Chain A
Amino acid sequence: MAMQEGSIVVKVCMGTGGIAAGGAAVVSAFREEFESAGVRASVEKNCSVHNVGCRGFCARDVLVDVIVGGEKTTYEYIKSDMVPRIVEEHILQGRPIEEWVVKEDYHTFHEKQVKVVLSDCGEVDPEDIESYVGRGGYSALEKVLATMTPEETIGLIKDSGLRGRGGAGFPAGLKWEFARKAAGEPKYLICNADEGDPGAFMDRSIIEGNPHSVIEGMVIGAYAIGARKGYVYIRAEYPLAVERLQIALDQARRRRVLGDDIGGRGFDFDIRIKLGAGAFVCGEETALIASIEGNRGMPRAKPPFPAQKGLWGKPTVINNVETLANVPYIVRNGAGWFAQFGTEKSKGTKVFALTGKVKNSGLIEVPLGISLREIIYDIGGGIEGGRRLKAVQTGGPSGGCITNEMIDIAVDYESLAKAGSIVGSGGMVVMDETDCMVNIAKYFLEFTQAESCGKCVPCRIGTKRLLEILQRITDGRGRPGDVELLEKLSNDVRSASLCGLGQTAPNPVLSTLRYFRNEYEAHIHEKRCPAGVCKNLLTYSILEEFCKGCTMCARVCPAGAIVGEKKKPHKIIEEICVKCGACFEICKFKAVKKG
């Protein structure tokens, strides 16, 4: 968007995080204030409020940029009732409100990041194609159509080293080449926006924040492989993304960067949205194809690979949202520019969803090869409450954990695989010493077990039995031999399952067994949960020497399990205690012992 000198622009984060924190109310508050304060009349300057997509730091939402005369001030934790003061003091009187301005860690959060796919998120208005075009959007498409052959386009992507960002990390250019060379017409290009890992929302944020980058990437990809029809397979649970994508598609057709005779250069390509019903397995490409064809979303054996026989039996390329969103930037800036980021085999940047016990949770984009330490401590701001890092689960439920000792590991495809985990779609869950690793494995398995399609035996029944074993271990009913049984069954499920879901479902179990076997054994043999998480294995008691008899614990106990006279040491009756931990939380004298 062209900014006139002296103009006033307010940008409000309207990603899902922003909206959840009250972004819509903030936008209308600004509009109302401008109206009633007569900003336009009194200041005689252009003044507009823009909705922008996610900028990553969701923990600080609603984030608001106020740009006065080119000078940008970012506010955090903004609510609609704070807007009048911003308009009054900052916009009318020119005095930014210091206490609401983002602090130092907002900048450190961004410093180590390198933004490629997210570079325009939070800057462009996702519902206005001109805003994207104003920042160079669709120039890559123009360049490709005007000056490059499909083969040259594929060559460029191959040279850039771009690998699939959906999980498997297959070289994107190679995939395009297979489909280009495959016999069969018509060919299809599918954008996989069926993001399903718990806690992962990078694809959603890209589509919500900059849908045109995905569309442009798709048109370029379609030109390269020779497809004339494309689909975006997107979860129906992403209503905002679907809406913005639909608006973007309509605008793109009107601007003739999509549809028949694109840019007047005789290339036809159109995109349809196909809504998924929220089945995790439909992120698997053969299941996704089955779903588009109107069948039950179940995977089939590969080969044949979709590049040979995909949608309706025709050559099909399926690329993840983030992969496609990288394409316009690579074309615009060159393969060498992209390849400068990352490592030898893992080029470019990757978006991660940083969550868990880390101070700054949110969406981050970093060059591949960055150390996990930099992500957790420099960008993430370290562990909440100053506790000790225990492990980081990467790659979502299909991934594995990286321990505190391995914190200097480079975050790239090869290094993580060597450590028994994966980059995956980019989930990153940080765990500290208060997390029980058996419980964590159980959590992820609960998810994959429920999301198994049921087609193949090892995944359908095997993951169920794995979960049951984990359940009995955390319940304190674990038996000698359970660890070995878990390991054996995990390996069998991994080897025998039909698709990636089953083949990777045991990974959280195997990797926690690899690094935290002692925790499993403590649960089974000593009936003890070292992290103090598993309720059935916990006992609470009061240390007489510390107890002042303040009665607080007895008052908060929901079960009436604490007895004792005022100013005399109290006692917990174990048979009545429900192990809720309320006494432990409330005691000011650290007299309640957990363990």
Chain B
Amino acid sequence: MVSITIDGRRVKVREGATILQASRENDIYIPTLCDDPRLEPYGGCRLCLVQIKGMARPVTACTTPVSEGMIVETTNDEIEDLRRTIVELLLSDHPNDCMVCEKAGDCTLQELAYFYNIRKNRFYGERRQYAERDGNPFIERDMEKCILCGKCVRVCSEVQGVSAIEIAYRGFSAKVCPPFEKDLDCEFCGQCVSVCPTGALMGKLSMGKGRQKDIEKVESVCPYCGCGCNITLHVARNEVIRVSSRPDSLNEGWLCVKGRFGFKFNSSPDRLKHPLIKRNGRFEEASWDEALDYVAQRLGEIKDRYGADAIAGLSSARCTNEENYLFQKFMRAAVGTNNVDHCARY
């Protein structure tokens, strides 16, 4: 542990921590746009500039490790002035269409503009304008809203190991895009969407389905596989319009394409909501008790007449490990056959 002083408060923090981590652990707020505690520090947005006593120029809190005796000022007139300039510069190259933006209400840039009360911008000039839209099925990419924080690029490479996107071009023309600016053709895990601080990356399935204020958030568990990722269902007008995951969940907020974008079945009219039993050539709705009794009865009859090996069981990857264990146990011990297999083998 090392002792440092942040804004006049003496605190003890673990060695190797950055100033940003140390500040957060002590509930001292420093604005950021490009930081995500789950990703490598980047130092691109420059909002977390802080002043260290004895150093000539301000440094970024996200990249600077603490050292014994360090005296840090996270806010003063000069620092706030620089942050204000940065936010104004970002807004000078932004559509500023919050009124119709899907991200409004959940946008870090919007929040900063509010926080710094930026009504009139000192800076104006050319704005990036991109006519083309990405034709992929899941991710809406509006690069005019991109602030080049690089989080999407980092999550794609550091967490997902896919590296489907990178920053291309230089300076003002810099742009996050897939190779040769083709349409995105990746796993569509949507981690990039989940870390984007602005409306540059949004899920296509949720577009136009409801404003932030309409959304009720329901904590749940992803039904797709045995991993059991924690998910948050965004529900508007009794319909799931988006799925997210909290960074403090066991899966650290990361999801796959199924968990993040495969939620439409939820409101499908074809979805099975009750067991069905086929009677007289037609499926008829039944209760769970009825259905289970029927299955037990038929398994018994088949086993008696043809032997246990006439029965086979196929289990699903959507079950948990424990459920799969129980299923094979059931087949071997209760039914008495080794004819048991799992869909993941096919």
**A residues with CB within 8 A of B:** 279, 281, 296, 298, 300-301, 303, 449-465, 468, 485, 488-489, 492, 495-498, 503
Contact = CB atoms under 8 A, between A and B. Distances in A.
B85 A496 contact: yes
A455 B175 CA distance: 10
Nearest to B83: A496
A454 B123 contact: no
Nearest to A452: B171
Given A454-B170, A460-B171, A496-B58, A489 B44 contact: no
Nearest to A299: B43
Contacts of B41: 301
A458 B89 CA distance: 7
Contacts of B90: 457, 461
Size bracket of the B interface: 35 or more
Contacts of A488: 85
Nearest to B41: A301
B183 interface: no
A468 B58 CA distance: 26
Given A455-B174, A461-B93, 4 more contacts: A457-B147, A458-B85, A489-B85, A497-B46
Contacts of A459: 171
B89 A465 contact: yes
B86 A458 contact: yes
Contacts of A455: 42, 44, 148, 150, 167, 174
B312 to A, nearest CB: 51
26 contacts: A301-B64, A303-B65, A450-B170, A451-B170, A451-B171, A454-B170, A454-B172, A455-B174, A457-B46, A457-B147, A460-B171, A461-B90, A461-B92, A462-B89, A464-B125, A465-B125, A468-B125, A489-B85, A489-B123, A492-B81, A492-B85, A495-B58, A495-B82, A496-B46, A498-B43, A498-B46
B108 interface: no
B148 A454 contact: yes
B63 to A, nearest CB: 4
Contacts of B93: 461, 464
A459 B90 CA distance: 11
A457 B86 contact: yes
Contacts of B167: 296, 298, 454-455
B285 interface: no
B112 to A, nearest CB: 12
A456 B45 contact: yes
B306 interface: no
B122 interface: yes
Given A301-B64, A465-B125, A468-B125, A498 B44 contact: yes
B49 to A, nearest CB: 6
A301 B148 contact: no
Give 6 nearest A-B pairs by CB, closest first.
Answer: A454-B174, A301-B63, A452-B171, A468-B125, A461-B89, A301-B43
Interface string B115-128: 00000001101100
A496 B43 CA distance: 11
A459 B65 CA distance: 24
Contacts of B43: 300-301, 456, 498
Interface of B: 41-46, 49, 57-60, 63-65, 81-82, 85-86, 89-90, 92-93, 122-123, 125-126, 147-148, 150, 166-167, 169-174
A497 B43 CA distance: 10
A452 B86 contact: no
Contacts of A452: 170-172
Contacts of B170: 279, 281, 450-454
B126 A468 contact: yes
Contacts of A489: 85, 123
Contacts of B125: 464-465, 468
Contacts of B89: 457-458, 461-462, 465
Nearest to A449: B171
A449 B172 CA distance: 8
B172 A461 contact: yes
Nearest to B149: A457
Given A454-B169, A489-B123, A496-B46, A460 B148 contact: yes
Given A454-B148, A495-B58, A460 B174 contact: yes
A450 B85 contact: no
Given A458-B85, A498-B43, A453 B174 contact: yes
User: A450, A454, A456, A485: which has the most chain B beta carbons within 10 Å?
Assistant: A454
Given A464-B126, A489-B85, A495-B82, A450 B171 contact: yes
A489 B90 CA distance: 14
Nearest to A481: B122
A378 to B, nearest CB: 37
A503 to B, nearest CB: 8
A458 B81 CA distance: 13
Contacts of A495: 49, 57-58, 82
Nearest to B82: A496
Contacts of A449: 171-172
B344 to A, nearest CB: 35
B59 to A, nearest CB: 8
A488 to B, nearest CB: 8
A462 to B, nearest CB: 6
A454 B166 CA distance: 12
A461 B81 CA distance: 16
Contacts of A497: 46
A301 B85 contact: no
A457 B44 contact: yes
A503 B100 CA distance: 37
A495 B50 CA distance: 11
Contacts of A281: 170
B123 A465 contact: yes
B46 A453 contact: no
Contacts of A461: 89-90, 92-93, 123, 172
Contacts of A458: 46, 85-86, 89
Contacts of B57: 495, 503
A3 B169 CA distance: 53
Contacts of B85: 458, 462, 488-489, 492, 496
A459 B59 CA distance: 15
A463 to B, nearest CB: 7
B156 to A, nearest CB: 13
Nearest to A295: B166
A459 B123 CA distance: 14
A457 B174 CA distance: 11
A463 B122 contact: no
Contacts of B173: 454
A281 B167 CA distance: 15
User: A456, A463, A488, A496: which has the most chain B beta carbons within 10 Å?
Assistant: A496
A496 B57 CA distance: 8
Nearest to A494: B57
Given A454-B148, A457-B90, A463 B46 contact: no
A460 B45 contact: no
A451 B169 CA distance: 10
B148 A463 contact: no
A294 to B, nearest CB: 11
Nearest to B46: A496
A468 B173 CA distance: 15
Contacts of B122: 485
Contacts of A298: 167
A279 to B, nearest CB: 7
User: A455, A468, A497: which has the most chain B beta carbons within 10 Å?
Assistant: A455
B171 A456 contact: no
Contacts of B148: 454-455, 457, 460
A492 B82 contact: yes
User: B42, B65, B82, B125: which has the most chain A beta carbons within 10 Å?
Assistant: B125
A463 B126 CA distance: 12
Contacts of A301: 41, 43, 59-60, 63-64
A451 B174 CA distance: 11
A463 B57 CA distance: 19
Contacts of A453: 170-171, 174
Nearest to A464: B172
